[in-house]
Amino acid sequence: MRYVRLGPSGLKVSQICLGTWFLPRSAERDEYGIPKVNLDEFERILKYALDKGLNFIDTANRYHGAMSPVDLPHRGNSEKVLGKLVNKLGREQFVIATKVGLEMAPWPNGKGLSRKHVMWQVGESLRRLQTDYIDVYLTHTVDPETPKLETLRAFNDLICQGKVLYMGLSNTPPEDVIEYMETAREYRLHQPVTIQEGYNILRRDIEKAKVPVARRYGLAVMAYSPLAQGLLSGKYLKGIPEGSRATYFRAFKESITKESLDKVSRLLEIAMEIDVTLPQLAIAWLLHMQERLGVTVIPIIGATRFEHVQEDLEALDVKLSGEVLKRIDEVVYGQMGY
């Protein structure tokens, strides 16, 4: 395992992060008929990842782990599951990132980035995670109704109180990231150290606007959906497997088009030529992109099966030549290249 500093901070995190949006599903269902998370399988995954040196875990107060979209009664389940296992394995070994901002209750202050909502939800996340502090606390979305100075001051107070160690921004437009950074600088508040954005071979829009901002301020990029929700696993090339994510996540199913599958097929050919799996190619590509982009890129991998984490972590040893990177660009952009 390689370790990188999280943006301009001194915090050392593994080059690959383990996400908890989707976790191993159990055959058991709760009183609402929703599948439960398979705790034994997730513990096996977490132990293996830890043994391999992975110390960075990403979650959110909104996540359930085996359900999408998530209704109100099931929000927070991923934090609960993670809290049980992290404390069992040893809290201080892990760097835990979680998020705030999306709806957690039906009342007016049940969502957003106001001081009231942030202060309420940090307490809830700490309780669910069974911990005294959150390593990295991120805004999960934008909130145009709350001044950024109010949000920054709330996060700053949490850092001063020791409930949060570092802050970050997720799914935030580049102009908003700049405003957050400059406002924090003007008022001498703790600044964000990372942004979290969707980024993979097939989804590269952040390279044009968000990456330059991250480079300007030295922010790390936590890249979620490195396998495009599983599309870059290659398993959808022959149809939609029973029980796969596409069977219960409508938005993802709609992304499985003839054009996207054609690109996946061509990428699979490249992977086979260099004797790696398609997921390993996709993750190794992200790790190589940090050199090209001049920012730290940390892929957030998912693991609904033990074999997934084994396969994905092997991407750390995959070397991609300039010729391979050029061919990947051609698959995505045609003859234009990067």
Residues 6+ apart with CB under 8 A from 32: 73, 74
pLDDT at 337 exceeding the cut of 70:
no
pLDDT at 248 exceeding the cut of 80:
no
The domain ranges of the chain are: 3-229+288-320
What is the DSSP secondary structure assignment for residue 113, as one 8-state letter?
S
Q: Which CATH architecture has domain 3-229+288-320?
A: Alpha-Beta Barrel (3.20)
Closest CA to 21 of 242, 301, 258: 301
Which tops the pLDDT comparison, 242 or 41?
A: 41
pLDDT at 326 exceeding the cut of 50:
yes
Instruction: Give the tokens for residue 13.
Output: 């995190």
| Contact of 19 with 299, CB cutoff 8 Å | no
pLDDT at 244 exceeding the cut of 70:
no
Residue 63 a catalytic site member: yes
pLDDT at res. 247: 54
Closest CA to 91 of 60, 133, 143, 147: 133
Mean local confidence (pLDDT), 85-101: 97
Please tell me the distance from the alpha carbon of residue 270 to that of residue 278, in angstroms, as a whole number.
8
H-helix or E-strand containing 300? strand 297-301
Residues 6+ apart with CB under 8 A from 100: 61, 113, 117, 118, 121, 122, 125, 137, 138, 139, 140
Residue type at 29 in one-letter notation: R
Bridge partner residues of 35 (DSSP): 29
pLDDT at res. 242: 65
- Please identify which of the residues 3, 63, 248, 338 carries the catalytic annotation: 63
Mark residue 234 as left, alpha or beta (left: phi above 0; alpha: psi -120 to 50; beta: remaining): left
Q: How many CB atoms lie within 10 A of CB 69?
A: 11
What crossing angle do the helices spanning 174-186 and 148-161 adopt, rounded to 10°? 60
Q: Across 85-243, where does the E strand assignment appear?
A: 95-100, 134-139, 164-170, 194-198, 220-224
Query: How would residue 258 be classed by pLDDT, with cut points 50, 70 and 90?
Result: confident
Closest CA to 200 of 93, 136, 278: 278
Closest CA to 314 of 292, 266, 282: 282
H-helix or E-strand containing 297? strand 297-301
Please tell me the distance from the alpha carbon of residue 245 to that of residue 73, in angstroms, as a whole number.
21
Closest CA to 263 of 198, 199, 336, 327: 327
Mean pLDDT across the chain: 94
Mean local confidence (pLDDT), 189-205: 97
Name residue, tokens 């580049």.
174
pTM above 0.85, yes or no: yes
